[in-house]
Structure 1
Amino acid sequence: MNWTSLDFLVAGLVLLVVSGGALTVVVLVRSAWHRAGLAIAGLTAIALFWVNGAVGIIGSEANDANALFLGVYGVGALGALLSHFHARGLTWTLLAMAGVQALIGLIAWLAGWGADGNAWPRDIALATGLFTAGWLAAAYCFHRATRI
């Protein structure tokens, strides 16, 4: 893979945002479950961004259908803002993100999007399952944070 200047810029921005977010979490959040939920959600979000941008989930990275995964981030951003980052609201937000992730994978599979890829539909099923599991794991952590 040949990285361009833009690739390095985006990677640097992602690392800057993640490290700043991690520092903020360590300073402001006291609940271990809440911290774990934020960490898992953050890592899942980074992995989705990286995988989708580097190789694509639906076919190759050039497949326009991969842009649908931006909707997962939209749901997350809206839910986090509406819930003021409180654990109960984040639980529901992460459950919604998992649902959107799974729905996009299901639609892609049913519509045959990415069928020209080498490992279709395995790639879509595997990626959808892994990212959905990440969102669900984070939701579980936030749920546990509400019970403490």
Structure 2
Amino acid sequence: MSRKSLLPVVLVPTCILMIPAAAMLLRVEGWAWGVTDFVVFWILIAGVMLAYKLATRKAVSRAYRVAAGLALTAGLLLIWVNGAVGLIGSEENPANVMYGGVLLVGLIGAVMARLEPAGMAVTLFAMAIAQFMVPVVALVVWPGDFSPGVLAVFGLNGGFVLMFAASGLLFWRVGRRYGGTRVGAVA
């Protein structure tokens, strides 16, 4: 990777984080980020962008690139929302730790699939199932701390399930079109 291709990995997170920085300067209620918050989220955004560049560097299929982008964006949003406010109850609710398992399924699956579309499809479908199961397990194990309500929690989780499943469908489509070739690349 050239320095020129890494420039967006540095600049885009910086530009995105200017929004909360401006909110802090304007003293918008609810924005109380510290330096650590900015550093952590800059690293998260830059890491996702770098992962996208590495995963799609040989991809010739637009569907593969969209699938990878959707999966990585869903993962980033899952970390961001869960870390900021928690998906189930507050961010201190122990049920929220289970979302780390969803991301672990994705990481292990991507390594095992070696980023090949068919394996990535299975991985993303497994992530969708794991994402769906988190609030089900939480409702059984921690029913008392289920704010903002059962429907809201399942609805929010449903959004993530849809993103992971849509990404899986796109990977499946690429796998069907290009067979077992790595990321639909022309070797």
Report the TM-score when normalising by structure 2.
0.73
RCO comparison, higher one (Cα < 8 Å, 6+): 1
1:114–1:120: 8 Å Cα contact kept in structure 2?
A: no
Runs of 4+ in 1 over 6 A off after TM superposition: none
Q: Does the 8 A contact of 1:54 with 1:61 survive in 2?
A: yes
- Structure showing greater radius of gyration is 2
The 8 Å contact of residues 83 and 89 in structure 1, kept in 2 or not, is answered as yes
Contact 2:55–2:115, Cα closer than 8 Å, also in 1: no
Q: Structure 2: how far apart are the matches of 1:109 and 1:123?
A: 13
Counterpart in 2 of 1:80? 110
- The answer to whether structure 1 residue 114 and structure 2 residue 145 are counterparts is yes
| Identity of matched residues, % | 29
With normalisation by structure 1, the TM-score equals: 0.91
Aligned residues: 146
Q: How does 1:1-148 map to 2 (within 5 A)?
A: 1-111=31-141, 112=143, 114-115=145-146, 117=147, 119-148=148-177
The amino acid across from 1:100 in the alignment is A
CA distance in 2, matches of 1:83, 1:27: 16
Q: Which runs of 5+ in 2 are unaligned?
A: 1-30, 178-187
Distance between the aligned counterparts of 1:22 and 1:67, measured in 2? 25
Once the 2 structures are TM-superposed, how far is the Cα of residue 139 of structure 1 from its aligned partner?
Answer: 0.3
Q: Which amino acid aligns with 2:161?
A: T
2: CA distance, partners of 1:50 / 1:99:
20
Shift in Å, 1:24: 3.0
Q: Which amino acid aligns with 1:114?
A: D
Give how far 1:45 is off: 0.5
User: How far did 1:130 drift?
Assistant: 0.6
In 1, Cα distance between the equivalents of 2:129 and 2:45?
27
Deviation at 1:63, TM superposition (A): 1.2
C-alpha distance in 2 between matches for 1:23 and 1:100: 26
CA deviations 1:22-65 (Å, max 9, x no partner) are 33345321111111110110111011111101111110112122
3-state SS of the aligned residue for 2:57? Answer: helix
Q: Distance in 1 between matches of 2:131 and 2:144?
A: 15
Q: 1:137: Cα distance to partner?
A: 0.3
Give per-residue Cα distances to partners, 1:58-94, cap 9 Å, x unaligned: 1011212201100001111111001101000001001
Question: Which of 106-115 and 39-48 deviates more?
Answer: 106-115
Structure-2 change in CA distance of 1:87 and 1:106 (3 Å)? same
In the TM superposition, residue 11 of structure 1 has moved relative to its aligned partner by 0.7
